[in-house]
Amino acid sequence: MDFSIRAANVEDCKDIARMITELAEYEKVTDQVKITQRDLEQDGFSKNPFFHGIIAEVPEQHKSKEGHMKIGYALYFFSYSSWMGRAVFMEDLYVMPEYRGKGIGKALMSKVAQVSRSIGSGRGCHQLNFTVLDWNKSSVDFYLHQGCTDVTTDMGYHYMSCKGEAMEHLAQP
């Protein structure tokens, strides 16, 4: 299958928002999606972006049955590991179901790794981090096949989150 991988731009936000909703539907958590196209435009394409994105696109002759040519994406941001130094966190990796198994997910993930390795005068990121749902065996298998490890199993770490009222309470002096 013919496809291309490129850096996302502000014009892609409508399709990114659509695919975020599709991913949430797949993960059965649509009620948790609060992000809007406008949020993506502001947060990803301002002077100091909170995230960066990669888009997978197919030519017109391979567009989806709904007419979409933007068929996958990855969102990532830079972080820091006190043990390893520079790191990148891949928030999302998504390929529309009808395009899976064609190397597009691997190409998206590879591009995130390439970009993160090239930053900072050759002193790029040393690790790529992300989460995956424990019930999503096909994704877990895909990531293990790429050489990734499961730190929950290997090191016993748990990914924690503090949000909503709990974060408001925590922020009180």
What is the set of active-site residues?
A: 143
Alpha-carbon torsion angle 38, 39, 40, 42, nearest 10: 90
CA distance 50 to 78: 9
Which residues have CB under 8 Å from 161's CB, separation 6+?
A: none
**Inter-helix orientation angle 13-26/37-44, to 10°:** 120
CA distance 157 to 155: 6
